[in-house]
Each structure stands twice: as C-alpha cells, then as structure tokens.
Amino acid sequence: MEKTIVATPLLPTDRLEPIDGWGMAVQSMGYVYRPSTIDGIREVFRLAQNHRRPVVLRGSGRSYGDAALKGEAIVLDLTRFCRILAWDPQTGIVTAEAGLTLGDLWQYVVGDGWWPPVVSGTMHPTLGGAAGANIHGKNNYRMGPIGEHILAFDLLTPAGDILRCSRDENADVFHAAIGGFGMLGCFLHITLQLKKVYSGDLEVRPISCASLREIMTVMARRAPETDYIVGWVDCFAKGEALGRGIIHEADYLHEGDDPVPAQTLRLEHQSLPDTFLGFLPKSMLWMGLKVWLHDLGMRFVNWAKYVAGRIQTKPYRQSHAGYHFLLDYVPNWKRAYLPGGLIQYQSFVPKEKALEVFTYQIETARRWKLPAYLGVLKRHRPDPFLLSHAVDGFSFALDFRVTRRNRERLWQLAADLNRAVVAAGGRFYLAKDATLDAQSFQASLSAESFERFRALKDRLDPEGILQSAAMKRLGLI
C-alpha cells in the first residue's frame, strides 16, 4: 500500500515547475532537481527524507501519461546523468549512465557497426526510462523487450545503498526493477549488449492488407521470417475493410550485402532530414498537421495513406534511424493536439483473442464517436520480468485526441475497452497509459506478481519515498 508522507513546505520555490506527461493530457507541479553525479542523486533522496516529500523519477519525459508525475513531489530528473562509461566495439557491450538517451547511444556506436537491440518509435527516451518501462520495439516477437539485453545494472535505493543486479546477483530485484517504473530505486549504470550490424540500412518491404484480419494473418505468418514487422491500421474504415492497413517488415543486411557499409554506417546517413520536400523546415510541419486534426480530416489522411500504400509496394532500403524513429520525423508533432493533448491506449492480447478484441476496440470507439486517429499493430512474445506487459499475441496502440468536451467520455471509453482486454487475458502498457484503473490493471496480472513486487518495495523503499501518480492510480504502491 502507498505510504502516507506528511510534507513540510520548506523546499525552494524556484524549483517548482509545471510538468506534463508527454501527451500533454495530464499535468502536475513538482520540485525539479537535475543532479549530474551519484552524490547529487543521494542528496536529493536525503532532501526528500528530511522534508517528507515523495520522489518521482523522470528521464526525458517521454511517457504519454502520468508515469513520471506526482503532484507536489520532488522530481528527480536524470537527463544530466548521461555519460558513456565503457564501450567495447569488439563485443558490442556498453555501460552508460541512466540518463543517456537511445539517440545518444546509437549515434555513438553505429559507426562501429552496432545498433541497440530494441528501440522505441522515438530515439529520445533515456536508458533508465527504457529499462523502467521495459520498452519494446518492432521486433518484440523475436528479441523481446530491452530488459532481455540488459546484462547488469546498479540500483540506488532511497536509503543510499547501491545494489549490483544481474541474472546471477540480486536476480529478484533485476527482474522487478526492469519494468518497475522507478518504484524500487534509481538506475545508475546500465550494461547493455548491442546488436552487430553490417550495414546502416535495412531491407524494407511494404505489404498492403485489405482488413484487420488480413494484417494479423500476414503478420503471424511473416514474423518468424523477418527481423522487424509492424502494421499501420486505418481505424476509420468499415465493413469488410475494417482495420485495413499497411505492414512494413524489415531485415538486417548480411555481411557483403551492402557494397558501401562504411558510408551507410556514417552518422550523416542515419540522420533524419531537417526539411520536407527539400526546403520546408520540419519544425513548422506540426502547424500544418493541426489543420487535419479532426474526424473528417483524419478520415481523409488515413484513406490517402492506405491508397498510397497500395501503390508503393516495391521493396526499398532505409536507414535504421529512418525505419525505427517515425515519431521523430516531424519535430513537436504533438503540438498539433493542443490545447487538450492526446492519449494513447495500448493493449496486449493473446493471439487467440486478439482479432476479436481489436475489432471490438475499433467498432466501439467509432460507436462512441471517438475514433482513433492512429492505430499501430505489433507482434509479441512473453518475457520473464515481474510486471511484464507482453503476451504471446499482438498489441494494438490507438491515439485519441483529447478535448475539453470529450475528455470524460474518452476515459469512459477506455474503461469499456479495458473490460474486453481483461476478459481475453490481456495486459496493458503503462508507459503509454493515462486512463487505466486499479481494478483492470490488477486483474491483468497475477496476484503473486503483485505480492512479490510489493514485498520488494517494502524491502528496498520501506518509507515509500518513491512514488508516482500512475503507480498510485493503479494501486501498485
């Protein structure tokens, strides 16, 4: 249970800042500290104990919801704690501080022929945030989440102790802190095994599918034969075309397949372009997106994307960064969703029930007159982490625009969708979540998992210093 902390109002007011979830739909105020050393992090914990304030851990703030928010708490921002401590270009093993971003990591190692084994749709999460959320990518069915490639980490508890954790040392903490959203301690140093690549390009193949059933059938058949696979879904289409969309699968190039690997592995080849059509600054594109950000406009955008996908069917080569980081192509694109912001609803459902549940989600959202503006489908496999969101099945991520008028109904819609997910034995991704209730979340995981996590919480953080709005909402603390 959450520990009650009676706060004293003695913190400096110049530290008090407004903090948003990345989707801008949830906010809070917090006392923000940005230490750059371990001693600095320890000092923040001492400050929290002296002033009886909870601490919420925050990386680069890429969680859509309230995973890194807590009203009137001390916010421990780790973005300055971001050095690479050791790198071996022969083995691909890297050790870095938890505030290093995925972007800084791949830019450092790609010239040596290595790539992070698991990345999200944006390069901006920190390693600590990625480990805390146990992020997945377009290859989860093959490579699992990022936690499966973490060899070891150092965890600082609120008491100031440092635990060395691996699969052989403090293994229970290892499998709980990864995916534990910062509730057991603060990641300090993370050692990660990277993936050897022989080219800076991937071989990408688009596949047009006429329905959600076809997308899922093709993904299930193709996944064992390809390194990455992801499906874009048109959530406006109806009838036999419901859930139509485009699959993009991609494979690594083998040694010798790329005639100029030294060129494609250069940072310049990976960098995303700054302009659109060669002259329009991408930093301005979000303003144009705002014109289309309504039901009629997004219906047209989804239709146009599907038609273009039916035409563009030839395989092509694309840089690793270009394929993976679609969310970074248009800087600040989320501003198009202002003033209300956006939420993303992502559920994971076993393969036997996934088509039924995701069809229900599309139809129910449309029936509530709250259609999803973007749908993304991925294939997954189970993993050994205590609070894992993954199942042997599929995930479906749905983006919804939040407005003053629809906010309450959106949360009600999410509750309706939750019931179908739980009934099918599904789970939820807390890094994206802003709406999930404690009953649905706890019903999605075993009672044993909850009890084991709470026992570790009581052992490592007996005073309940580490908190967040999301973990309180979900009844995990």
Q: In a structure prediction context, what are the per-residue pLDDT tens digits for the chain, which is 477 residues long?
A: 456 555 555 688 889 999 999 999 999 999 999 999 999 999 999 999 999 999 999 999 999 999 999 999 999 999 999 999 999 999 999 999 999 999 999 999 999 999 999 999 999 999 999 999 999 999 999 999 999 999 999 999 999 999 999 999 999 999 999 999 999 999 999 999 999 999 999 999 999 999 999 999 999 999 999 999 999 999 999 999 999 999 999 999 999 999 999 999 999 999 887 766 666 677 778 888 899 999 999 999 999 999 999 998 899 999 999 999 998 988 889 999 999 999 999 999 999 999 999 999 999 999 999 999 999 999 999 999 999 999 999 999 999 999 999 999 999 999 999 999 999 999 999 999 999 999 999 999 999 999 999 999 999 999 999 999 999 999 998
C-alpha to C-alpha distance for 237 and 303, rounded to whole angstroms: 8
What global pTM score does this model have? 0.95
d(CA 292, CA 159): 51
What pLDDT is stored for residue 281 in this prediction? Answer: 73
CA dist 60 and 124 (Å) reads 7
Structure tokens belonging to residue 360: 């229900």
Quick check: 98 and 186 in contact, CB under 8 A? Answer: yes
Tokens in use for 154? 């150092």
Model pLDDT, residue 288: 85
Q: Which of 304, 392, 45, 317 is nearest to 186 (CA)?
A: 45
Please report the pLDDT score of residue 234 as a whole number: 98
Number of Cβ atoms within 10 Å of the Cβ of 88: 12
Identify the bridge partners of residue 187 per DSSP, sorted by sequence position. Answer: 155
Tokens (6 digits) for 69: 């928010």
Residue identified by tokens 């100031």 is: 160
Give long-range contacts, CB 8 A cutoff, 24+ apart: 215-218: 215/243, 215/244, 215/245, 215/247, 215/377, 216/354, 216/355, 216/358, 216/377, 216/394, 218/247
What is the predicted pLDDT for the residue at 463?
95
Query: Measuring CA to CA, how many Å separate 399 from each of 66, 351, 411, 426, 436?
Result: 16, 22, 13, 19, 15
Q: What angle do CA 145, 151, 155 make, to 5 degrees?
A: 95
Structure token pair of residue 290: 């705002």
72 contacts: CB under 8 Å, gap ≥ 6 = 7, 28, 29, 30, 31, 53
Where residue 285 falls (left for φ over 0; alpha for ψ -120 to 50; beta otherwise) is alpha
Separation of alpha carbons 159 and 165, rounded Å: 17
User: Do residues 461 and 62 lie in contact, with contact meaning Cβ atoms separated by under 8 Å?
Assistant: no
Round to whole Å and give the CA distance between 99 and 83.
8
pLDDT attached to residue 287: 86
Q: Which residues contact 151 (CB under 8 A, 6 or more apart)?
A: 93, 166, 191, 192, 193
CB burial of residue 225 (10 Å; 0-12, 13-18, 19+): exposed
